[in-house]
Structure 1
Amino acid sequence: MALIAYGILSGQATPDVFLNWQGVAIVFGGTIAATFISHPSSEVFRGFMAYFIIFRSGKANHVETINKLVTAIRIGQRDGVQTMQGQLKMVRGLFIFKDGIQMLANGYSREEVKSTLEDQVRWKVSRELKQRDLFHSMAQTAPAFGMIGTLIGLINMLLTLQTNPSDVGSGLAIALITTFYGLILANMIFAPIGGKIAEQAETNLLNETLQVEAVLLLFDKKNYVFARDKLAAYLNAGSRKKLVKVAGKGSLQKKSGLFRKAA
């Protein structure tokens, strides 16, 4: 974006030449209108909300998630699921894990817990991918409306060619501005947002998969040391080194920050 601004400012034309409100209305307004026509309005609003949520929230920390899950498993094995549920109320996130623990407390079978949690994860990922597809669709639509604006400008320019031939250059420049707008919207705004949503969806999928796995490990009564190693298998080598080592009694609980109250 900075390079584009530099190219505009360093040229012979003044920057206000690149501002044409009719072109903005055709490209941006047309893209938004086409999006509402081709997608349910609720889906469009969710997509715009996802944009603000993603850029406001930080990236999920899988190492911190695993440390909290291992601590929760240890508490559940030592003090029981009911005690662990009370402690989990003070922890941010881990919604899938909390739902799974509630199902365990209600006496659901392993397969029922597994299928229900996996359905939750699958449905959430599906919603996030729809939001990605929404912005990718807008990235494909914006250049088309840029061309429509250019054609409108060319038609108007040709109509005045006989009366004012000296205005051909400026008229052509104005006509091409809408193509410029379409390319900027597609490649600098809509496509990057879609990519960001896709990246966030992949991160969330791993985070939620870890939570499902932790619930099943607790159900199977696996040792918390084994649970830590099992969950660590989802991480790369660099992230594994950051995991809290399971050492003396209470050390993991203290370092994981499980009982840190939400601000």
Structure 2
Amino acid sequence: MQIIGFVLLGFIIWYGFKDRSDAVISAFDAHALVMVLVGSCSAVLVSSSHTTAWRTLLCLREMLPGLALFGRSTRAMEVERNQLSALWRDGKRSQAVDLAANSRFPAVKQMLELILNRANEASSNKTFTELRHEEISRWQPAIHNWEMLAKLGPAFGMVGTITGMIQLFRNMSSENLNIGASMSLALLATLYGVAFGAGVAGPIGHYLNGLLDDRLGLLERCEKSVNEIVSRGER
């Protein structure tokens, strides 16, 4: 992935000095947009493993209704936690065992195992701490990439602006040079970079952080449920 990232960085430098044929002032400039988006992607590839880079891209589905899996799975796990706790408190042990056995969530299976073993609080804390660390190690690198993109988007916008200005100064001797349109095209790269960083990547990173916090909070509630059930059984 790092090699691909460096290749894209080289492409961005080359593409930045490519002549821009459009001389009309417009709010859209494909040249500037490519500089920002491809440059940002190259930074992710350079700093990430194959798995992390792919997971960073998959995080986009969390923003789409119907495709968001992480938040939906957290809510489903919360439902199973409540059901397991209620069944055990009501003395419906066999149903609780069946629920945990058929669950697709490791946390729910661990809850039942700890309850059956009458685990103390130290053992319960160790188990759920490991589960929390697994969630963090799985999702935090991808979230970090989006936070990094929020900072690097404006930087790659400046790359587009600087190369555009160099092109402008190089062609100032041309009789047909439209300085206003040329400067507009150059400065649009900065506009796109700031818009991408502050309006897209930053909010996505913040939203994903919220989803991860919800999952970690749920694991903490699972631990408390286990401790309460074991404590009540001992009494």
TM-score by length of 1: 0.67
Alpha-carbon distance in 2 for matches of 1:88, 1:116: 16
Matched positions, count: 204
Alignment check: 8 A CA contact 2:100 2:108 kept: no
Aligned to 2:10: none
Question: Are positions 1:28 and 2:37 aligned together?
Answer: yes
CA distances 1:181-220 after superposition (whole Å, capped 9, x unpaired): 1011101110000000111111112111111111222222
Question: Are positions 1:163 and 2:204 aligned together?
Answer: no
CA distances 1:18-50 after superposition (whole Å, capped 9, x unpaired): 222221221110110111101222112112223
Task: Give the 3 Å change call, closer, same or farther, for CA 123–88 of structure 1 in structure 2.
Answer: closer
Q: Superposed, which structure 2 residues align to 1:205-244 within 5 Å?
A: 205-221=216-232
Which amino acid is 2:61 matched to?
F
Q: Superposed, which structure 2 residues align to 1:43-192 within 5 Å?
A: 43-53=52-62, 55=64, 56-57=68-69, 67-75=82-90, 78-80=91-93, 82-89=94-101, 95-105=106-116, 107=117, 109-110=119-120, 111-164=122-175, 166-192=177-203
Which amino acid is 1:72 matched to?
L
Point out where structure 2 has 5 or more consecutive residues left out of the alignment: 1-23
Post-superposition offset of 1:98:
2.3
Aligned to 1:38: 47
Which amino acid is 2:166 matched to?
I
Aligned to 2:28: 19
Alpha-carbon distance in 2 for matches of 1:220, 1:130: 37
Alpha-carbon distance in 2 for matches of 1:35, 1:127: 16
Three-state SS of the structure 2 residue aligned to 1:33 is helix
Alignment check: 8 A CA contact 1:73 1:214 kept: no
Which amino acid is 1:86 matched to?
D
Alpha-carbon distance in 2 for matches of 1:156, 1:144: 19
Alignment check: 8 A CA contact 1:97 1:214 kept: no
Q: Percent identity?
A: 17
Alignment check: 8 A CA contact 1:117 1:212 kept: yes
TM-score by length of 2: 0.74
CA distances 1:53-103 after superposition (whole Å, capped 9, x unpaired): 46424565598577435413314xx243x5411134566x76413222134
Alignment check: 8 A CA contact 1:51 1:197 kept: no
Alignment check: 8 A CA contact 2:39 2:156 kept: yes
Alpha-carbon distance in 2 for matches of 1:37, 1:48: 14
Alignment check: 8 A CA contact 1:96 1:212 kept: no
Which amino acid is 1:112 matched to?
S
Alpha-carbon distance in 2 for matches of 1:42, 1:16: 41
